[in-house]
C-alpha cells in the first residue's frame, strides 16, 4: 500500500524563489574580546556536516562550524581542517546506508538512497594523517561518549566503538573526542553536544538505547560529562560558545507522519469504495470484537471502530499499558478456540490506537501497511492497520514526556555552565522551535520545518540543509557578537540551498 501522506507530489516541489535583499550599513568585522586563530568545534552529527542520512562531502563543506570558520577569517581566524570523505562518494550513514536523494517513485518525488549501500571504505580508511581536525564533530557522539577514551577502538566490537571517530583519530585505542580536541590548544571553541543523549533513544521509539541520566561520573552522567568537556576546553583560557539542544517535536522526523493516516482512500489505495469495504471488514472481524472484550476489562478506550468518512489512527503497541493478554485469551477462547485466542491475546494485550499525543516516526513510512510475515492470519497481518506497530516506530506520550523532561534538564545545565564560564550561549531550541511554529521569512523566502519542501531540514528529517546550516551559523555569530563585543559578519543564507531537487 502506498502512503500518500509521506510522498512529495511533483507539483508541490517548487521552492520559493529568494529575492535577496542585501543588508546595508554592515560594520567592519572586528574580533572584540576573542582570539579565533585556533578554532575547534566539538559536537555530533550536525557539527560534522552529516545530512540526508549520511556523512558525505557536500554536507561537510557546509557544516555550520566550517561556515563559521569562513567568517572568522575576517577577524584573524586560521585554517579550519575537516576529516573530509571523498568528494564523489555516496557517503555512509549509521546503518551502512548511502545518502538520500530525491527520486521519482510511482510518479511522485520521494527520498530514495543514492546507492544500494553506503561507501564502507569511509569507515575502513583512516584519514588521521590529514589532521588534527578543527571539526571534532562525530556522528553518534553523546556528551558521555565525548569524554570516553578508546571511543574509536574497533577491538571493542561493533556497537561499542564509533567508526566515524576511528577514521579521524591517531590513537583509536586511547584517545577521546575531548582529548583530541584539547590537544590542539584552541583559542576558541564551540560545543553543540547532548542531542544524542536523548535522540538515540527517541529515534528507536524508545525500543533501544536509553536517555542519559543527569547524575553520575563523567562518561556516565550528563552534568559531569558537560563539566569535564567545558573545564578541559577552557583550562588554558580559551573562550567559546555553547549551544543547547532542540526539543524533538521541532524535528520533522517526529512530526511528519500523522497519527491518524488511515482513510478509505489510503486503505483502498486511492479506491475509496474498496477502502470502505476494508473498514467494514476490519470493524466486524477485529476492531469490534477487540473493543467488546477490552470494554469488559475497563479498557474499552484503547480501541474504537474505524470510520469510512474520517481519518483513523494507527494501531500501535504501547508497552506502558497493563498487559491484558491473559484476559483477552480467556474472553476470546469460546469463539476462537484456545490456541488462536492465545495468539490474539499476545498480539493485542498492549494494543491501542494512536492519539495526537503520540509521535509516529518518519522511519515508519515503509512499515505502515506492510505485511507482517509472522502474523497468524492474512486478515490481521497489516502493520498499523490490523497488527499493532512495533514500538520502534512510535514514541508514546509517556516516552515523549520522558524525553522532554530530560531535554529541559540538559538545556538548563548547558545554559548554567555557559553562564558560569562567561561563554556565549546559543538557544538552538528556541531557534528551531520558531522554524517549526511560525517559520522564518528570510530575504523573500519562507523557511519552515516542513519535510522536504520547508528548506531547513535535509531528507532524513533530522539534520539540516545547507540553508539550515547557514541560518544556524548566524545564530552562533549573533551569540558570539553579543557576548564578546565582536562584529563578525552574518552569512548571507540566500546563497545556500535547501533540499536539492532533480
Give the class (CATH, top level) of 35-87+130-255+402-495: alpha beta
Vertex 199 angle, CA 41 and 86, to 5°:
50
Q: List strand residue ranges (DSSP E) for 138-216, in order.
A: 188-192
Q: Specify which residues 353 forms β-bridges with.
A: 315
pLDDT of residue 389: 94
Dump pLDDT digits (tens) for 367-409. Answer: 999 999 888 888 889 999 999 999 999 999 999 999 999 999 9
Residue with cell 524535528: 251
pLDDT of residue 408: 98
Query: What is d(CA 476, CA 184) in angstroms, rounded to the nearest whole number?
Result: 22
3-state secondary structure of 160: coil
pLDDT of residue 397: 94
Question: 428-437 and 466-484 helices cross at what angle (nearest 10)?
Answer: 130
Residue with cell 579565533: 36
**Among 461, 469, 475, 6, which residue's Cα sits nearest to residue 248?**
461
All structural domains of the chain with their residue ranges: 35-87+130-255+402-495, 264-353+359-395
The DSSP line for 457-496 is B-TTSSSBPHHHHHHHHHHHHHHHHHHH---PPPP-GGGS
Query: What is d(CA 227, CA 229) in angstroms, rounded to the nearest whole number?
Result: 5
Q: What residues of the chain score a pLDDT lower than 50?
A: 1-22
Structural contact between residues 411 and 242, judged by C-beta atoms closer than 8 angstroms: no
pLDDT of residue 25: 59
Query: What is d(CA 81, CA 230) in angstroms, rounded to the nearest whole number?
Result: 22
Question: 64-72 and 466-484 helices cross at what angle (nearest 10)?
Answer: 50
The DSSP line for 161-206 is S-HHHHTT-S-TTT--HHHHHHTT--SEEEEE--THHHHHHHTTTT
Vertex 279 angle, CA 275 and 282, to 5°:
135
Query: What is d(CA 187, CA 36) in angstroms, rounded to the nearest whole number?
Result: 6
pLDDT of residue 255: 97
Amino acid at each position: 500500500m502506498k502512503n500518500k501522506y509521506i510522498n512529495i507530489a511533483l507539483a508541490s516541489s517548487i521552492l520559493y524563489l529568494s529575492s535577496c535583499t542585501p543588508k546595508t550599513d554592515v560594520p567592519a568585522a572586528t574580533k572584540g574580546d576573542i582570539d579565533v586563530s585556533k578554532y575547534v568545534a566539538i559536537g555530533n552529527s550536525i557539527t560534522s556536516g552529516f545530512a540526508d542520512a549520511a556523512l558525505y562531502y557536500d554536507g561537510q563543506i557546509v557544516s555550520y562550524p566550517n561556515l563559521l570558520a569562513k567568517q572568522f577569517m575576517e577577524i584573524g581566524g586560521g585554517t579550519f581542517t575537516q576529516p573530509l570523505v571523498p568528494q564523489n562518494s555516496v557517503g555512509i550513514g549509521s546503518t551502512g546506508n548511502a545518502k538520500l536523494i530525491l527520486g521519482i517513485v510511482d510518479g511522485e518525488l520521494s527520498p530514495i538512497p543514492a546507492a544500494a549501500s553506503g561507501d564502507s571504505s569511509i569507515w575502513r580508511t583512516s584519514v588521521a594523517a590529514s589532521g588534527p581536525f578543527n571539526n571534532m564533530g562525530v556522528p553518534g557522539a553523546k556528551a558521555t561518549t565525548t569524554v570516553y577514551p578508546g571511543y574509536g577502538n574497533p577491538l571493542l566490537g561493533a556497537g561499542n566503538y564509533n567508526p566515524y571517530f576511528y577514521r579521524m583519530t591517531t590513537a583509536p585505542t586511547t584517545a577521546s573526542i575531548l582529548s583530541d580536541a584539547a590537544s590542539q590548544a584552541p583559542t576558541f571553541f564551540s560545543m553543540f553536544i547532548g542531542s544524542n543523549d536523548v535522540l538515540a533513544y527517541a529515534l528507536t521509539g524508545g525500543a533501544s538505547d536509553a536517555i542519559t541520566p543527569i547524575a553520575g561520573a563523567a562518561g556516565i552522567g550528563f552534568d559531569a560529562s558537560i563539566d569535564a568537556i567545558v573545564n578541559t576546553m577552557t583550562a588554558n583560557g580559551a573562550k567559546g560558545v555553547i549551544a543547547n539542544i532542540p526539543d524533538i517535536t521541532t524535528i520533522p522526523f517526529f512530526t511528519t507522519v500523522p497519527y491518524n493516516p488511515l482513510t478509505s482512500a489510503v486503505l483502498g489505495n486511492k479506491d475509496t469504495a474498496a477502502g470502505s469495504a476494508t473498514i467494514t471488514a476490519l470493524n466486524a472481524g477485529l476492531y469490534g470484537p477487540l473493543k467488546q472484550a477490552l470494554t469488559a476489562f475497563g479498557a474499552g478506550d484503547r480501541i474504537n471502530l474505524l470510520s469510512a468518512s474520517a481519518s483513523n489512527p494507527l494501531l500501535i503497541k504501547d508497552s506502558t499499558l497493563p498487559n491484558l493478554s491473559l484476559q483477552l485469551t480467556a474472553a476470546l477462547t469460546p469463539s476462537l478456540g484456545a490456541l488462536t485466542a492465545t495468539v490474539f491475546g499476545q498480539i493485542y494485550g498492549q494494543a491501542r490506537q494512536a492519539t495526537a499525543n503520540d509521535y509516529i516516526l518518519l522511519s515508519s513510512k515503509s512499515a505502515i501497511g506492510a505485511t507482517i510475515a509472522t502474523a497468524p492470519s492474512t486478515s490481521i497481518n497489516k502493520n498499523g492497520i490490523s497488527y499493532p506497530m512495533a514500538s520502534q516506530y512510535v514514541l508514546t506520550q509517556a516516552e515523549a514526556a520522558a524525553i522532554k523532561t530530560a531535554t529541559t534538564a540538559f538545556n538548563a545545565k548547558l545554559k548554567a555552565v555557559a553562564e558560569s564560564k562567561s561563554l556565549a550561549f546559543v538557544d538552538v531550541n528556541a531557534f528551531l522551535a520558531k522554524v517549526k511554529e511560525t517559520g522564518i521569512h528570510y530575504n523573500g523566502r519562507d523557511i519552515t520545518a516542513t519535510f522536504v519542501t520547508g528548506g531547513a531540514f535535509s531528507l532524513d528529517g533530522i539534520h539540516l540543509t545547507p540553508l539550515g546550516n547557514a541560518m544556524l551559523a548566524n545564530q552562533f555569530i549573533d551569540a558570539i557578537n553579543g557576548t564578546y563585543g565582536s562584529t563578525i559578519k552574518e552569512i548571507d543564507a540566500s546563497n545556500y540551498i535547501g533540499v536539492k531537487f532533480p
